[in-house]
Chain A
């Protein structure tokens, strides 16, 4: 695999500096004003202060003003209860809509996202950069690195887009076929808006103007040993590029730092994996030795950076069949993700803070 030999960490690209500067300014003490969560989260990559400490006072500050409001204003609470009961009523009578892919927007917004949000905010303390690179409407393909033994990074990316994007866009992830073979998992995945990673589904979603997330490394990325962390694996055959080209959708590279360390995979029980029909069976320092306890991920600190979109609408229609162009574009996306990964790693102070 031809990796980049020279990695310009200090290249002053407009995107990198634009993201880095606001935190530096806010470190002067204007942090308290930024109560809006999207601003707060941008604050975190301070070189001088541990972000975990940042986060705790913020939530402490945010909650007190909320609680008195609830107590003083019973109308708000009642409205919430009424809303909750109306929701319950709709769910119990089956009076809700899903789309062709089985995406249940209401359930995702009201329940599933609420379940994932504590993990996102409190456990992994995800910090999102470059959310403005995601267009506010129209189809776009987000291409991210994949890691962490279990696909937590996809879910966190979905929460990041859902909670941070000003237009409240929904990310539709493409998942491996294994996801749709497992009971319960396939049901939840469909309701969260995920679908099978195949060209037909991806094109259909992009044609509908949806934001599609794909992790082209697949099992090679998610099941790689801990020693190879943050080394991007091969990007399949670059099928995602031709899909994006056919729909003229921009490709947004996305780098996720922190997911590699949640389950440090030090071994792979290949025989057991083959028996169970899984692509790999992870052995971590805690799993399966501690049983279910070992399945708890390590509380690493995450950073998700969305890069500058790579436009694909300037190519002629036959470009989607041009293998050279495919390889070039795939490499370009891959290099950009890898560079951003290294850059974020250099900026990172510690795995856990």
Chain B
């Protein structure tokens, strides 16, 4: 008997890709794709059911389809199309509550996978440099998407206590980047000039969307021998990039601004509704965040194919060159190197050992 997988949040690129991918797995018999709005992309052979997660209809959907695996991807930072922050928060928190309530009543559900984010750790100067899954955050996120994820995870923990027979897997993703996904960080990196916070160079970690699909697939199937896929896992690519490195690799110049100016500009941009430059985004771009992926490797048995740097390179390739492409800069340095010795002689005074 094959599995019946119910996926929420399929109107987004990531959800759509995951639905198309999981159908190809032999043990999956049927995929039910749920979202409040019909997706623009095709969903392969999956059955799309238009249902708003905030309404109790999801319980009926779950009962009628007898889904045994629920993959909850509808926990997102930004609204699809033109939605307000309030509706995003409702979908995240109320939607999760409704879905968990439905799962609790359904005797068929055997496995629950929830997409979360490393935002739950917050970002503060007093935090340890590397977060593990058990690190308590020094300062809980006070609002926005980060607070949503904290609340969602709280409800999921409550559900796991009430239904110990269901395998619950919470995946805390680092910043997802890739050719297709639209995240606030991706739109930030698409700005022609990157505003940064003066005097801070945050450490960032990325995870490639291909790896996101793959780890979601691992979490929604039976665990492989010697691994365990229930629990909470940080998901991030290997290695760390500094924001300054990112801007240089993208070829986009940075404009360092003082922290109060950045906060003020962020709220101005938010009021005008141009981009979602939220306070937690500013905190991430001030203090950075790095998570430990030991559990992901050793317990979940997942090894990402893309490192942080490769993920970023893939993203940069798809975004087109910035104002100062790295090749041009490297060429300029090479031209200096080609100059006669006298001209280049005073350059490396500091850098040469």
Chain A positions within 8 Å of B, measured between CB atoms, are 74, 77-78, 80-85, 87-89, 91-102, 104, 109-111, 114-115, 177, 180-187, 190-191, 195-196, 198, 200-201, 204
Contacts of B326 in A (CB 8 A): 92-95
Q: Is there contact, CB below 8 Å, between B333 and A201?
A: no
Mask of B169-181 contacts with A, CB within 8 angstroms, 1/0: 0000000000000
| Interface residues on chain B, size class | 35 or more
A83 to chain B, nearest CB (A): 6
Q: How far is the CA of A84 from the CA of B201 in the complex (A)?
A: 24
Minimum CB distance partner of B134 in chain A: A200
State A96–B353 Cα separation when bound (angstroms): 17
Cβ-defined partner of A187 (8 Å) among B126, B200, B259, B341: B200
B344 to chain A, nearest CB (A): 5
Complex Cα distance, B132 from A201, in Å, reads 11
B129, A94: Cβ atoms closer than 8 Å: no
Question: A88-B333, A110-B351 given as contacts; is B345 within 8 A of A102 (CB)?
Answer: no
Nearest 9 CB-CB pairings of A with B: A84-B348, A183-B199, A94-B248, A84-B352, A184-B199, A93-B326, A180-B125, A200-B128, A94-B245
A201 and B128 within 8 A (CB): yes
Q: State which residues 43-84 of B face A: CB under 8 Å.
A: none
- What separation, in Å, do the CA atoms of A77 and B340 have in the docked complex? 13
Cβ contact within 8 Å between A99 and B330: no
In the bound complex, residues from chain B placing their C-beta under 8 Å from that of A201 are: 128-130
For the complex, what is the distance from the CA of A111 to the CA of B334, rounded to whole Å?
21
CA distance in complex: A196, B348 (Å): 33
B127 within 8 A of A: yes
What is the predominant secondary structure among interface residues of chain B facing chain A?
Answer: mixed
Identify which of A83, A110, A200 gathers the most chain B CB atoms within 10 Å of its CB.
Answer: A200
Cβ–Cβ contact B345 & A81, under 8 A: yes
Chain B 120-154 interface residues, beta-carbon cutoff 8 Å to A: 125-130, 132, 135
A88 and B347 in contact (CB under 8 A), knowing A93-B326, A94-B248? yes
Docked Cα-Cα span, A150 to B322, in Å, equals: 41
Report whether B249 and A114 are in contact in the complex, using a CB–CB cutoff of 8 Å.
no
CA–CA, A312 and B341, complex, Å: 55
Taken together as a complex, chains A and B put the C-alpha atoms of A83 and B248 apart, in Å, by 20
Pair A93/B199 contact, Cβ less than 8 Å: no
- Inter-subunit contact B125/A92 (CB<8 Å): no
- Min C-beta distance of B328 to chain A, whole Å: 10
Q: Is the CB of A89 within 8 A of B248?
A: no
Check A94–B246 contact: CB distance below 8 A: yes
Closest chain B residue to A115, Cβ basis: B350
Are B348 and A88 in contact, CB atoms less than 8 angstroms apart?
A: yes
Within 8 A of A (CB), among B176-232: 197-201, 203
